[in-house]
Each structure stands twice: as structure tokens, then as C-alpha cells.
Amino acid sequence: MKSVFVSYNYRDSEALMFADRLNHHLVLSDIEPIDLYTSIYPPAYAHESIVDAINRCSIFICFLDTNNPNVMFELGYAFAKNKQIIIVSDDFKLIPFDVQNSVFIQRNTPLSKLIQQIENRVQDLQEPTWYDELHVGSPVDQLKILATRPDVLDGITPREFEKIIAEWFRYQGCDVTEQPQGPDSGFDCQVQNFRGRTAAVEVKKYKSSSQVSISVVRQLVGAMLLEDLSLGIIVSSAPFTRSALSFVENIGPEILLWTLDDMIHINNLG
């Protein structure tokens, strides 16, 4: 399903009305509007909430306001994340040069016509070619794609990667409690019924040219001690350093270091 995030100046009452009406119409068209008001972040983490929302969307709609730094930041971030962008503005000349190839819709248009134009453009925009491929099949199939397709791995966000890993554990018969977004708690989820035990799981999405260092392992061990857990798992899209591999062999808590290739060959952990 396509998902849309709408960026606008919250002091712009007209843009707010447009956004509310647009989100309602998108739902009727089987398109998911990502609403910050339902974010799992507390108000103190508004920045993280916005970044997470843009990461999750497939289409970014911007009611351009060059005098509002928040709107311009969000537009720049969406551009950097290679989101498909629709810009609504009174004047094409106001659009920054870097994003002038985005879809442009004239703002000074009657409300109903403006919404229809945006809906039509959203329907025309396609998901990335790999999107449907990744979201069809079992979690094992998804991991196989991520393990063999660097372009797909680069295209998803760390949060999406965490979700896929959590679903893989559920698929293997485990119960999973995901940590709420916000300050880093040291691990991303707790996995119950993991061979009769509870494990703290930390997920790292790195490029294959990177490595997971010993500091990541130490951080997980510290978080496990606070939660009184004796089993930890680090799942990574990249390999582990030699020092990290050596470290887990010589400490009290049991720490498993898994790459995607490791997980593909594991069956039924429940």
C-alpha cells in the first residue's frame, strides 16, 4: 500500500484544512496517510517523530513555505531519502533548484480541484520497482532478498529493517515485544519463547562494506544486565569484527551474532 506524508506550516490554516481533507480522501482511495498526531513518540521527541514519518512514507507531499524552516527541513530530508515528492506552491520559481524535478501542483486552485489533482498524481506515482517484491512472501523470503540485493537493503529504513526482523522471529514461533521509539534502550525488542528463554535483540542495518564493532556488543550486554536477561542477539546486515566475535566467546551472558545469511538457514525457534 502506498503511504503519504503531508508537510505544511501548522500556522497556515488553509494548508491545514487542505491536509485534513486530503488525508480523508486518501484513505478512501486505499492510500495510507501517515499522521504525526498518532505517532508513538512523546512530544519531547517531535524531531524523531517527523523523521520516522518521512522514513515510512513512500510519497512526500509538501505545501511549500520557504519562510518556514521546518517545512524546508522536511522537504530536504525527503529529497535526501529519495522519496517521491509532490510540491504544492503558488509559484514554481519558489521551489529550490534541487527539487524542481518533483511533481508540481499550483496551490491557488479551488479546494476540491486541488485535492483531485493531488490524488491523481499520487495514484500515478509508482512504488520503487523492488517494493512489491520485498513485501510479498514470508519473512524468510524477505531476508533472502535483503541478503542478495544491496539496492533493496539500501532502500529501506533502519526502522523498516527492524520490523522485518521482528516479523521473522514471530514467523519462527516466538513472541516479540518491540521497544517504543524514543531514547535508545540498548536493544530493539525482547523475544520470548526463544528455545524456552527470553532474549534481548539489537538490530543493525549497515552497508555490507561496514562491520559491527565490539562497542555494539558491550552496549547490548549493559542493557541486558539492567533487564536481568542472560541471552542477547545482535542481528546485522553487515559482518562482525574479529574483536566482537572474540568478545562474545569470553563473557558470561550468552550473545549470538547473526548475519542475514545465518538467519536464512535457521528454522523454528519457538
Domain edges within the chain: 3-124, 131-264
Class of domain 3-124: alpha beta
Model pLDDT for residues 63-78, shown as the tens digit of each residue: 999 999 999 999 999 9
Indicate the pLDDT class of residue 37, thresholds 50, 70 and 90: very low
* pLDDT of amino acid 211: 94
Indicate the pLDDT class of residue 86, thresholds 50, 70 and 90: very high
pTM score: 0.62
Mean predicted confidence (pLDDT) in 53-61: 85
* Architecture of the domain defined by 131-264: 3-Layer(aba) Sandwich (3.40)
* pLDDT of amino acid 81: 81
The average confidence (pLDDT) of the chain is: 85
CB 151 within 8 Å of CB 251: no
Percent of the chain whose predicted confidence (pLDDT) is above 70:
89
Q: Does position 149 have pLDDT exceeding 80, yes or no?
A: yes
* pLDDT of amino acid 40: 42
* pLDDT of amino acid 231: 95
